[in-house]
Amino acid sequence: MNLFVDGDFSWTAFLDSVISAGLKIGLVLLVYVIISPIGKRLISRIINGAGNKQKLSEGRSKTLERLILNIYSYVLGFILIATLLGLFDINLAPLIAGAGIIGLAIGFGAQGLVSDVVTGFFILLEKQVEVDEYVTAGGMNGVVEEVGLRTTKIRSFDGTLNFVPNRHISTISNHTRGNMRALVDIGIAYGENIDEAMAVLQKVCDEFQQDERVTDGPNVLGVQSFGSSDIVLRVLGHTENMQQWAVERDLRKRIKEAFDDAGIEIPFPHQVNIYKKEDE
Amino acid sequence: MNLFVDGDFSWTAFLDSVISAGLKIGLVLLVYVIISPIGKRLISRIINGAGNKQKLSEGRSKTLERLILNIYSYVLGFILIATLLGLFDINLAPLIAGAGIIGLAIGFGAQGLVSDVVTGFFILLEKQVEVDEYVTAGGMNGVVEEVGLRTTKIRSFDGTLNFVPNRHISTISNHTRGNMRALVDIGIAYGENIDEAMAVLQKVCDEFQQDERVTDGPNVLGVQSFGSSDIVLRVLGHTENMQQWAVERDLRKRIKEAFDDAGIEIPFPHQVNIYKKEDE
Amino acid sequence: MNLFVDGDFSWTAFLDSVISAGLKIGLVLLVYVIISPIGKRLISRIINGAGNKQKLSEGRSKTLERLILNIYSYVLGFILIATLLGLFDINLAPLIAGAGIIGLAIGFGAQGLVSDVVTGFFILLEKQVEVDEYVTAGGMNGVVEEVGLRTTKIRSFDGTLNFVPNRHISTISNHTRGNMRALVDIGIAYGENIDEAMAVLQKVCDEFQQDERVTDGPNVLGVQSFGSSDIVLRVLGHTENMQQWAVERDLRKRIKEAFDDAGIEIPFPHQVNIYKKEDE
Amino acid sequence: MNLFVDGDFSWTAFLDSVISAGLKIGLVLLVYVIISPIGKRLISRIINGAGNKQKLSEGRSKTLERLILNIYSYVLGFILIATLLGLFDINLAPLIAGAGIIGLAIGFGAQGLVSDVVTGFFILLEKQVEVDEYVTAGGMNGVVEEVGLRTTKIRSFDGTLNFVPNRHISTISNHTRGNMRALVDIGIAYGENIDEAMAVLQKVCDEFQQDERVTDGPNVLGVQSFGSSDIVLRVLGHTENMQQWAVERDLRKRIKEAFDDAGIEIPFPHQVNIYKKEDE
Amino acid sequence: MNLFVDGDFSWTAFLDSVISAGLKIGLVLLVYVIISPIGKRLISRIINGAGNKQKLSEGRSKTLERLILNIYSYVLGFILIATLLGLFDINLAPLIAGAGIIGLAIGFGAQGLVSDVVTGFFILLEKQVEVDEYVTAGGMNGVVEEVGLRTTKIRSFDGTLNFVPNRHISTISNHTRGNMRALVDIGIAYGENIDEAMAVLQKVCDEFQQDERVTDGPNVLGVQSFGSSDIVLRVLGHTENMQQWAVERDLRKRIKEAFDDAGIEIPFPHQVNIYKKEDE
Amino acid sequence: MNLFVDGDFSWTAFLDSVISAGLKIGLVLLVYVIISPIGKRLISRIINGAGNKQKLSEGRSKTLERLILNIYSYVLGFILIATLLGLFDINLAPLIAGAGIIGLAIGFGAQGLVSDVVTGFFILLEKQVEVDEYVTAGGMNGVVEEVGLRTTKIRSFDGTLNFVPNRHISTISNHTRGNMRALVDIGIAYGENIDEAMAVLQKVCDEFQQDERVTDGPNVLGVQSFGSSDIVLRVLGHTENMQQWAVERDLRKRIKEAFDDAGIEIPFPHQVNIYKKEDE
Amino acid sequence: MNLFVDGDFSWTAFLDSVISAGLKIGLVLLVYVIISPIGKRLISRIINGAGNKQKLSEGRSKTLERLILNIYSYVLGFILIATLLGLFDINLAPLIAGAGIIGLAIGFGAQGLVSDVVTGFFILLEKQVEVDEYVTAGGMNGVVEEVGLRTTKIRSFDGTLNFVPNRHISTISNHTRGNMRALVDIGIAYGENIDEAMAVLQKVCDEFQQDERVTDGPNVLGVQSFGSSDIVLRVLGHTENMQQWAVERDLRKRIKEAFDDAGIEIPFPHQVNIYKKEDE
């Protein structure tokens, strides 16, 4: 606004610049008014298309759409204001540079927040967890109560509600995506006949193969290891999801009973004692 | 202020520039005076609206409102001063650049502070903890005494008052948001009859199901594991919040008494000793 | 667009600038239209060439091609828009600088994402894992279900599905790339004759050398260590992939049986007890 | 200082610029002289006001005031010098940019220092520790001897003086802010009557409730856990600060004596031995 | 391209600028055509010279040469394009600045890649590992199968193939660069005569000194420590590379046999038992 | 140096610029010559003043003075050169920007060095350690041999000389700044009379209170804990610096002798054995 | 090169600029030719001077001189090229900015390299290690084979050659800089007379004080601790470097023999057994 260029106030220049400014503002606003809804519709369409392709639930693709539209509006609004100010030579640069020191601190401080949202976005998009699934994430173990953009809520089995910021979720172990393993290790005495013990175990396994909770096996694998006082045999099967613990408990009970019937001992720790007299 | 452009002091130019400057300052101050209260009112209204929607307590939404108004004032004031200085060609850029080295250090040093406030903001907004709740956060375990923007105060059960900077709170485990689990593992001798022992345990559990502190169960789950000297049975129930320890203690006492009555032994560690003479 | 340079609206200047702008826009668009498909074809050809040289599977080289074409399109589009805006003196610099603070936060927050993609790209290109291979990666142990650009899905043996962000995969241990080792350590009593025990073990090994699952050995190596109560002998062989556990189990069973036949004892822990009377 | 603009030394220009420079310097110094004391007084008043509101001790608010006045003076002085140099076209920018590489290193290196001061500032302001309080901070455990802006001095109970840089203090556990817990766990034999043992314990607790060091309890809570050879009972009370250890010691002594009187045994570890002959 | 400077399309200016542009392009391309091959030849010569001096194998110096020539070509090409665009006032700065946000993310994300290559470069140049050497690197232990610029492949002894990104290799422990130590610690009873036992051991050592796998020793060092039940003697020798385990195994076998012949006992754990009656 | 402004070599302009340059150089050098010694004297005076106030030893304040004078000279010299080059339009900016990439690497790489010096500076200034003091710093434990700006040398008690870069020193534990604690925990049998044992211990303590190495106590505190086989009593006193170990050793010897005289037993681990026959 | 300023090719301007350019190039080269050798000689002299003062070995100061001369040449060459290019308005800024993204990645990736060199430089300059010294550095323990600017080679005692990048060396523990400690802890039975045992030990120590490998002591310190079954006495001496292990071994052997002669027992672990019948 060089209205004093030659040391004199120039009304013509003033008017000119006012008209010019008005025209510019109008143009900028026009472009904004045109671009804004087009972008919004585009985003909605893309999200919905992607959502259908990825088979996202309605609620989930709505969450993502709202998130992206929000970001879009903020960015566009910021551009609009910066452009308008720029028109009147209200230079933003020093301002922004001045704000830079504080901004740096904020940028670093807030990166955790962005990290949360980015991770949360992909957890939602890749459907890594759903509500009510049993997962291990961020060191917490339990049933998911809510998957948010910033925080995931996990209810531990002891009743605790854990708020896990998404950035602290590195690897998600989802325990509700397929049949689970039921595994029982059982020790027999070194004196027992291995073949006989395995036959007894397999008979118990055969009973369980009828169990409707069991999807595969169980079967006796063989000699897993030599313990200090026992020979460890392994029984392995697969069950429907979340039934693994109950099946394992029932397997253990039946094996103990079958061993009792067959007279096979689950040995206590053994020790060989050699006696010396003190004067030796 | 090129008052010596042609090697001569120009009074006209001086006056012009003084008037021009006055006009500019006036304009800037006018804009400031208009924008400042509008922004404040807008912020207040938004916060209150959001607070109502999120069902924040009065005190909490006041805290957030004050925080945001503070930030708003500082930013606006900073812009005002920068703009005024900018009007008189007192270039801020070199100054700021010069301050940059120190600023860098401050920026890095202070990022912890920003990180504290950002995390604290979301702890308040998402209502992850309330005063008097029993939580685990930042490695500390206890009852929350105060949730601040920078620091959360947690009173440990041993009486210690812990000042936890919010940035060190990653996952919050809130133990006061629902019914809690009461779990008792109890070992019986390998020689005992499992069914009988489970019947005795279930009878104890049935007594406790009348207890008003208990919300669900307790029940006997089955054979949890084979110990080296005992068969471990698990009893599981749910209680009202903070009652879990007392219920577990009572359960343990009752189980011991019931086992005593039924003649079921909780076994000591067992060892099989084989004797050798020294000359072997 | 200095249409008011001399305080007057200049239609000629306006027309000139409009024509000039049109010419420039046309030129820019022309260049874009020419370069875009050329680049795409080039990329496709290079990827395919490289794919053939590296013997990538069809699906895999398609994945990489699509990834790179996507990046190419985004970058070119970004350049196009920036150039067009630049033509009309809509200076992007302050805008971008202003966006810098937010951008910084995003940049830091999103670096994890880029890190994921870069790592994923090389996992695919270097064929470090294939679907259905048994690997250890990012602390997870299991069979690979999917290798994506951002996430690798690993199914643990207990049925859990693990989503491992690629950036958390540092070293990949691929257990499905060659013959595996079968190793059995077995303790004999200090009183036994070592030569005799090694002869018995070697006889068992000789039987296994006929086994078709075994590719090399097994053989007796010798005295691996002196335990507190036993002398540990080591048997080592190699088997076909994923057969190592079954071979080890069978080896253990046969060794125990052979020792039983030969009267060689696998000793329990030993202790020498020296008796003192209390009054000493 | 374009004194050779037309290839000729211009005395008029020289004089003009000298006068102009003099005027500018005068103006800048004037502004400095006016602003400097005003800022100081403002800061003092704000600090004192805040100090009164936060109920800071005189010494502490003096420390903070001096710190902020120091920072204020350095910043203002830096601005003054930069402005003066800027007046004479002694451009600071390249200088500063040149110093940037070194500055970067310094900035990173010195961030620890800033981090120390920022943390120290808030420890003082939020009164997290006072001299002579018993705290755990930065992995050190002891009595605070001095809280500085950079370093906190903690005297361990073994006499060591620890210099803890404030940045290494994350969570401060202050053990001198309230009554402390006295907790005694005591094991009784599986053969004992639980009710009887709890009655004996409660009688000891009743004695201690008269103790003036005790503020609450102590009381018997119940069966805390089943040990391998004992049933663990828990006694819990609260005492005046720093008295918890003495009370616990006295409680232990009294409990032992009361158990001796009542003939209740604190059991040694138990083991069941089963004897086998070697030839089995 | 100011073709409308005075509001008129100037054909002369257009021609001039076209010719000027052509000249400039020609010049730039000329310089490129001259510099490019010179640089390449220079690099080749330097690498080969350095390779000869460092006694790099042919294959290895070829790998390094190809790497550096690649980098050289990319950098020169980039400079060429940037210069050409710069000639036509197609300002790259805003573009690049605009790309900065994404670039920042990429820069951070890709730094791992650069780190891999830099580390890999020095592993190759300093010949820290060769294929078929037995090393410990990046937490992996095994035989090197391939040393690449990005990844080192290590085959574990259990058959696993490990892909170790070079950046995760901090310290490389190369176990194939010299004679290895064979060390056997052997315990004798507290009752034995130390001199006698050492004499027996030294006699075994003397036998092994003839062994062609042994390069130095073995010899008896003396009393290494007092165990809880034995006095530990140490035997130390050096063997040819990779023979250490076999020599140790043979040493152990011979020592045991020699001790048996000399009637020296390798003691089991000892315990002194003091008997009390219950009523005490 | 626009000597060809109008396409003609202008001698007048050349001369003018030479004279002008000469004048400028002279001025700059003059300012340098004036400022340099003033600054040096100022620094010396401030350091000495501060040194006196902080009671720094002569040698130490000399070290700090030399450090700061060095930094001062380098910075001033750098400014001088940059200013001189700036006078002749030899623009440093691109140079420096070009050096930026390398500079970045150096900046990051060298930050450790700066960090060392900053930490070292404060260790010296705050007198956290003196030579010959016994400290724990940076994980090393021993007597300080030298405190440098970059490295601190600590002599471990086993004779090792540790070079600890100052940046790895976080918390310094100085064990030579005050009286040290002598603490002896001693277990008595459960069957002993606690009062009697405490009386015997107190009598030993009373003897030691005459010891001139002892500054406070020792006294018997009471029952510290219930061990599995003993009741642990605690004796606590304070001694002159570095005498704590000798006092503790003497205390232990005297306590053992006093217990022997009084017939109080320090018990061995106890175990209750319950015998079962195998056929049970 | 504004040769088309007025839309016409100006030969005069062309010639002028050619001559001007020639002059400038000449001037720049002249300055380079003068400064380069002066700088080199200066550096050599400073290094040598410093080397003499720090008593560096010839080889070591040569290494440092070569390093610094190399860096000097690269920097000067870089400045030369940048200045020459700058003369012809071939602006480096956009180029460099364009290279910035890649540069950033390289900068971060290569910082490890710089960190290596900086650390290596100070290890050499401060003579923290010499070849053939026994050190612990970067987690590796062994004899130094080579100290390079990037890597330090350490030969472990088991024959492994470790390549430790200097940046991974934080604290260097040099075990070859002074006399070493020989320390033997020996347990005697609780029933023994402490004075008598200490006398026997001191007599053994007196023998060793004649040993020429021993520089100080050894002496008996006293009762170091109460073990669960023994009273631990400590013997402490100092030996010549690297003789500590041999002296300790000889000390142990002599102590055992002396104890045998004096009839002092080194006790086995003790346990008090209390017998209960099962029906209790």
Categorize the per-residue pLDDT at G57 as very low, low, confident or very high, splitting at 50, 70 and 90.
low
Region of poorest pLDDT, from B124-133, F183-192, F199-208: B124-133
Q: What is the pLDDT of residues A216-247, one digit of tens each?
A: 879 999 999 998 889 999 999 999 999 999 99
Chain D residue with minimum CA distance to B167? D170
Q: Which of F191, F268, F272 sits opposite E274 (nearest CB)?
A: F268
Residue G205 or residue E53, greater confidence: G205
- Which chains are adjacent to chain A, needing at least 3 Cβ pairs under 8 Å? B, C, D, E
| Residue B172: both structure tokens together | 């919050």
Spatial CB neighbours of A183, under 8 Å, sequence gap ≥ 6: A234, A235, A236, A237, A248, C158
Pairs of residues, one from chain B and one from chain D, whose beta carbons lie less than 8 Å apart: 192
Chain B: give the shortest CA distance to residue D257, in Å. Answer: 24
Categorize the per-residue pLDDT at C38 as very low, low, confident or very high, splitting at 50, 70 and 90.
confident
Categorize the per-residue pLDDT at B9 as very low, low, confident or very high, splitting at 50, 70 and 90.
low
Tell how strand F231-239 and strand F180-188 pair up: antiparallel
Q: What is the pLDDT of residues E236-264, one digit of tens each?
A: 999 999 999 999 999 999 999 999 999 99
Contact list in E for residue F269 (CB cut-off 8 A) is none
Chain G residue with minimum CA distance to D268? G274
Pairs of residues, one from chain A and one from chain C, whose beta carbons lie less than 8 Å apart: 192
**Do B100 and B128 meet the contact criterion of CB atoms below 8 Å apart?**
no
> G93 and F95: CB-CB below 8 Å?
no
Q: Which of E191, E268, E272 sits opposite A274 (nearest CB)?
A: E268
**G145: enclosing H helix or E strand:** strand G140-147
Mean pLDDT of chain E: 80
**Do A250 and A239 meet the contact criterion of CB atoms below 8 Å apart?**
no
- Which chains are adjacent to chain D, needing at least 3 Cβ pairs under 8 Å? A, B, F, G
Q: What is the pLDDT of residues A85-122, one digit of tens each?
A: 666 555 544 444 444 445 555 555 667 777 888 888 88
Chain A: give the shortest CA distance to residue C265, in Å. Answer: 9
Chain G residue with minimum CA distance to E198? G253
Region of poorest pLDDT, from A44-53, E4-13, F45-54: E4-13
| Sheet arrangement for strand B230-239 | B180-189, B230-239, B214-226
Chain G: give the shortest CA distance to residue D135, in Å. Answer: 30
Contact list in F for residue D110 (CB cut-off 8 A) is 114, 118
pLDDT value at residue A35: 80
Q: Which of G9, G186, G271 sits opposite E271 (nearest CB)?
A: G271
Chain E: give the shortest CA distance to residue G164, in Å. Answer: 5
Residues A172-185 have a mean pLDDT of 92
Chain A: give the shortest CA distance to residue C53, in Å. Answer: 32
pLDDT value at residue G9: 55
Contact list in B for residue D220 (CB cut-off 8 A) is none
Spatial CB neighbours of F155, under 8 Å, sequence gap ≥ 6: F142, F143, F144, F145, F161, F162, G178
Q: What is the pTM of this model?
A: 0.80
Chain D residue with minimum CA distance to B164? D171
Contact list in A for residue C112 (CB cut-off 8 A) is 115, 118-119
pLDDT value at residue B112: 77
Mean pLDDT of chain C: 80
Categorize the per-residue pLDDT at D19 as very low, low, confident or very high, splitting at 50, 70 and 90.
confident
Contact list in B for residue D91 (CB cut-off 8 A) is 94
Contact list in C for residue A117 (CB cut-off 8 A) is 109
Identify which of B34-48, D202-216, G35-49 has the greatest average pLDDT.
D202-216
Residue F279 or residue C230, greater confidence: C230
Rounded to whole angstroms, the Cα distance separating D56 from D48 reads 9
> A274 and B270: CB-CB below 8 Å?
no
Residues G151-171 have a mean pLDDT of 92
Categorize the per-residue pLDDT at E83 as very low, low, confident or very high, splitting at 50, 70 and 90.
low
Q: Alpha helices of G93-243 — where are they, by DSSP H?
A: 93-98, 100-125, 194-209
Q: What is the pLDDT of residues C176-222, one digit of tens each?
A: 998 999 999 999 999 889 999 999 999 999 999 988 899 987 999 99
> B268 and F280: CB-CB below 8 Å?
no
Contact list in A for residue C269 (CB cut-off 8 A) is 228-229, 270-272
pLDDT value at residue E94: 45
Q: Tokens 């795409």 — which residue? A: C40
**Do D271 and A268 meet the contact criterion of CB atoms below 8 Å apart?**
no
> D268 and F273: CB-CB below 8 Å?
no
Backbone angles phi, psi at A65, to 5 degrees: -60, -45
Region of poorest pLDDT, from A105-114, C4-13, D173-182, E217-226: C4-13
Contact list in D for residue G274 (CB cut-off 8 A) is 268
pLDDT value at residue D131: 86
Contact list in F for residue E274 (CB cut-off 8 A) is 268
Give the C-alpha distances (Å, rounded to integers) separating D213 from D181, D185, E147: 12, 20, 70
Contact list in A for residue B17 (CB cut-off 8 A) is 4
Chain C residue with minimum CA distance to G274? C278
Backbone angles phi, psi at A276, to 5 degrees: -120, 145
- The count of C-alpha atoms lying within 13 angstroms of the C-alpha of A203, restricted to the half-sphere facing its C-beta, is 14
> B173 and A162: CB-CB below 8 Å?
yes
Categorize the per-residue pLDDT at E141 as very low, low, confident or very high, splitting at 50, 70 and 90.
very high
Categorize the per-residue pLDDT at B13 as very low, low, confident or very high, splitting at 50, 70 and 90.
low
Q: Could you tell me what percent of chain A has a pLDDT over 70?
A: 74
Chain B residue with minimum CA distance to A265? B190
> G191 and C274: CB-CB below 8 Å?
no
pLDDT value at residue A87: 60
Contact list in G for residue C280 (CB cut-off 8 A) is 191
Q: Which of A17, A83, A272 sits opposite C268 (nearest CB)?
A: A272
Chain F: give the shortest CA distance to residue E76, in Å. Answer: 16
> C191 and B274: CB-CB below 8 Å?
no
Identify which of C224-233, D73-82, D93-102 has the greatest average pLDDT.
C224-233
pLDDT value at residue C78: 64
Chain F: give the shortest CA distance to residue D4, in Å. Answer: 7
Chain D residue set in contact with A, beta carbons under 8 Å: 274, 278, 280
Q: Among F67, F27, F32, F33, which Cα is nearest to F47's?
A: F67
Q: What is the pLDDT of residues B122-139, one digit of tens each?
A: 888 888 888 889 999 988
Q: Is the pLDDT at G111 greater than 80, yes or no?
A: no
pLDDT value at residue A25: 76
Spell out the domains of chain A, with CATH numbers in brackets. 13-125 (1.10.287.1260), 134-174 (2.30.30.60), 180-262 (3.30.70.100)
| Residue B17: both structure tokens together | 């520039």
> G78 and F94: CB-CB below 8 Å?
no
Q: Is A217 left (phi over 0), alpha (psi -120 to 50) or beta?
A: left
Contact list in B for residue A254 (CB cut-off 8 A) is none
Q: Among F112, F169, F109, F120, which Cα is nearest to F141's?
A: F169
- Which chains are adjacent to chain C, needing at least 3 Cβ pairs under 8 Å? A, B, E, G
Residues C157-161 have a mean pLDDT of 92
- The count of C-alpha atoms lying within 13 angstroms of the C-alpha of B25, restricted to the half-sphere facing its C-beta, is 10
Chain E: give the shortest CA distance to residue C21, in Å. Answer: 11
Contact list in E for residue G275 (CB cut-off 8 A) is 275-278
Region of poorest pLDDT, from C34-48, F157-171, G133-147: C34-48
Q: What is the pLDDT of residues G214-237, one digit of tens each?
A: 998 799 999 999 988 899 999 999
Mean pLDDT of chain F: 80
Chain G: give the shortest CA distance to residue C98, in Å. Answer: 19
Q: Which of C274, C278, C280 sits opposite G268 (nearest CB)?
A: C274
Q: Which of B98, B108, B275 sits opposite D111 (nearest CB)?
A: B108
Q: What is the pLDDT of residues E202-236, one digit of tens each?
A: 999 999 998 889 998 799 999 999 988 899 999 99
> C10 and E9: CB-CB below 8 Å?
no
Q: Is the pLDDT at B98 greater than 90, yes or no?
A: no
Residue C19 or residue D194, greater confidence: D194
Q: What is the pLDDT of residues F69-117, one digit of tens each?
A: 776 776 677 667 666 666 655 554 444 444 444 555 555 566 777 788 8
**Do G121 and G147 meet the contact criterion of CB atoms below 8 Å apart?**
no
> E4 and C10: CB-CB below 8 Å?
no
Q: What is the pLDDT of residues F220-248, one digit of tens each?
A: 999 999 988 899 999 999 999 999 999 99
Categorize the per-residue pLDDT at E100 as very low, low, confident or very high, splitting at 50, 70 and 90.
very low
- The count of C-alpha atoms lying within 13 angstroms of the C-alpha of D209, restricted to the half-sphere facing its C-beta, is 13
Chain A residue with minimum CA distance to B98? A98
Chain A residue with minimum CA distance to B14? A7
Q: Is the pLDDT at G98 greater than 60, yes or no?
A: no
